[in-house]
Structure 1
């Protein structure tokens, strides 16, 4: 049976996983193994616009799309108002830090925008207006698992868009998602809200990842909100420059009729996860 859990996710390198504590759920795991560790985020727009969001005890990733607005996942935003902060850039030691002044949630999909307390003088990410299709190569960025690394530097991994799907079990079953198996890294708590990059632009925002009864498969698949299908909402709330939508949407696959084929991870030790690590929604097979 397939279930959905809230688990904010992240790209990480090596160490040992003992247990994952989720909001309201305890998933214990024996020493788990996964894909080869992620690599430090590239020193280009992917790193410059990456944002580490901290709201209460939960941490997430995001991407700077104007000097003061961050695009992230809606489930990263606490239901009640809590103090929050954001650090922009690939390093928590050197990146500019801002408070969080305002959040706006999408009414029907797992997207949100966060306004910073003041503008950040750094390059901003461009949004992709291209409808994505199976076979498109991409990279993913995020802050998940950063506490396990010797230096607080964000991570990056590779992927290829596999399908455009609907009816993935969870709190947003009618939500359309881009399905992407993760290579050269994996997703863990903290990556939620991180960007899917295609041709140097933000094509998706991480909403869900795998959490299964086979630990080697955890974080090996990610599901992303397609940015091109929500440009009007993003632009209306942030004033972000939006490109012209190009191409046509790829065929929509019903995940109930054609369930995801979760890839098997390569063996490498994972970091210990902490209860206050941020998490995206996680889909698990049990």
Structure 2
């Protein structure tokens, strides 16, 4: 229940989260709103921004402000999603890009970028934050992820475990093999290793533990088997779609090429 006396919580959401939400939305909307030339007068002040393509390479101060805000919001979003390691790596390489001329090792030294140039490269062109990777995830990968979630919700995870039990359950080490086979089946409809582990592992890990397998062994088998979902056709991880787009080849070509590595992973 929300405490009416707590100023720092609004609709059960901390105020700093609201700040991040507003900052992320506004910095993203800014790109679209300022795509064309802005020229108007408000309260006696003239506001003018040339169209965005004319500002690329020489960003205006307001461009740098919104670009910096977006990077901070994205770093926090990554930290909350997958932990602190990736943001630290991003910060290290960002520092390398900006302070390259100060590195004492000659082979690593480079002229460096100004913060304005860094924001220009990350915020505006189609090789930055709003580049091809985001386009693929939002237009192509989304549909496959949606299909995988739907398949999981209608019980295909249990179905794959049942089929795997029929195929491998009667052999020595059957429950561990059931985990591998069911993960392989689920990998065909979901390129997410996490979704694979949650769907099949929630069934196979308790069964393995009940049959005397150590917990760390059961978890290790399921994690290793589920990791193969990234390369198991026909629905693979997001990297496969990015690969197809960058190499300018049909996705079906990537699927065919991944068939043998996927088979080797599970066999």
Under a length normalisation based on structure 1, what TM-score does the superposition of the two structures give? Answer: 0.18
Greater per-residue helix proportion: 2
Higher Rg of the two aligned structures: 2
Say which structure, 1 or 2, has more relative contact order (CA 8 Å, 6+ apart). 1
More strand by share: 1
Normalised by the length of structure 2, the TM-score is 0.19
